[in-house]
Structure 1
Amino acid sequence: MSTTDRAGEPRGRHRQRRRAVDLLFEAEAKGVPATDLIAERREVFATDDSVGDMTGYAVRAVEGVVADAAQVDAIISSHLQNWSFDRLPAVDRAILRLGTWELLYAPDIDINVVLAEAVKLATELSTDDSPAFVNGVLDRISTLAPQVRAASSAE
């Protein structure tokens, strides 16, 4: 049995992305850094494994989004058309943050996979209009990805 799916992604990566979006969404709702939620869940996991282990891609992605939060939010804001960042549904902000971080700072993930996964998350978690909206914003941001990825790998 293969450890990757048809897009070449590690099996279970979609679940990890969904978990990352859930953590980003919850953190914004609570007004705390998402990394604090990870730390809290790690403490609880020591005695109650029902919260799930805080390892893997979800943690990598959330830590990346948090570390680059100001730049990620600025890039999203500059690529919105007829919307302000604060007016977006919170779940869409979380999906866009994850997608933008992946596009710019996760060179091991194919750009088309990032776009498809973000649309899938928006379909599962948000409004009927969100998949097309998320796709449009991330597609515009994806034009920056090759240059940013190249600059990051050169450092």
Structure 2
Amino acid sequence: MSARSKARKRALDVVFAADARNVDPVTLLTEREETGELTPMGEYAEQIVRGVATHYQRIDGLLAEHSQGWELHRMPAVDLAVLRIAAWELLYSDVPGPVIVDEAVELAKSLSTDNSPRFVNGVLGRLMGIAGKLRTAPN
């Protein structure tokens, strides 16, 4: 597993847990680091968590718009966390879109339902198609 794959998994753990506890991901990250509950995550994982938290509303708006027939609150929580991380990467990182989608699908395969990889791939495929335009759009 590559360093970035591990970073995504560590970020997923925080984003997922924050959503389950209904707290800001950065707040949870800080709490875990201060209590020693979390070993240092690494720069990229922290960047993902902070980025998802900063752009939460925009990311969720885009996910809701492109998830065709699925409301965010009805999605499996793991899928939603995977999609939030991948959407942030598509919009705000320099990682190639196909790599982001592949990594997200792999996370969904290993952590979620049998239907999740296909669903994640579809949503992110639609987002990837417009990500170039969205990157230059104001937040």
Q: TM-score range by the shorter chain?
A: over 0.9
Question: For 1:78, which of 35, 45, 65 is the aligned residue?
Answer: 65
Structure 1 position 17 matched with structure 2 position 13: no
The 5-angstrom pairing of residues 114-125 of structure 1 reads: 114-125=100-111
Task: Give the greater-gyration-radius structure (CA).
Answer: 1
Structure showing the higher helix proportion among its residues: 2
Structure 1 position 112 matched with structure 2 position 98: yes
Contact 1:95–1:122 (8 Å) recurs in 2: yes
Question: For 1:132, which of 110, 118, 131 is the aligned residue?
Answer: 118
Partner amino acid for 2:24? P
CA–CA distance in structure 1, aligned partners of residues 28 and 70 of structure 2: 29
Partner amino acid for 1:80? S
Structure 1 position 31 matched with structure 2 position 17: no
SS of residue matched to 2:30: helix
**What is the TM-score of this pair, normalised by structure 2?**
0.93
The 5-angstrom pairing of residues 24-63 of structure 1 reads: 24-45=15-36, 51-63=38-50
Structure 1 position 143 matched with structure 2 position 129: yes
CA–CA distance in structure 1, aligned partners of residues 103 and 48 of structure 2: 14
CA–CA distance in structure 1, aligned partners of residues 41 and 6 of structure 2: 13
CA–CA distance in structure 2, aligned partners of residues 54 and 36 of structure 1: 14
Runs of 4+ in 1 over 2 A off after TM superposition: none
Aligned residues: 137
CA–CA distance in structure 1, aligned partners of residues 125 and 38 of structure 2: 34
- Structure of higher RCO (CA pairs closer than 8 Å, 6+ residues apart): 2
**Structure 2: stretches of 5+ with no match in the other structure:** none
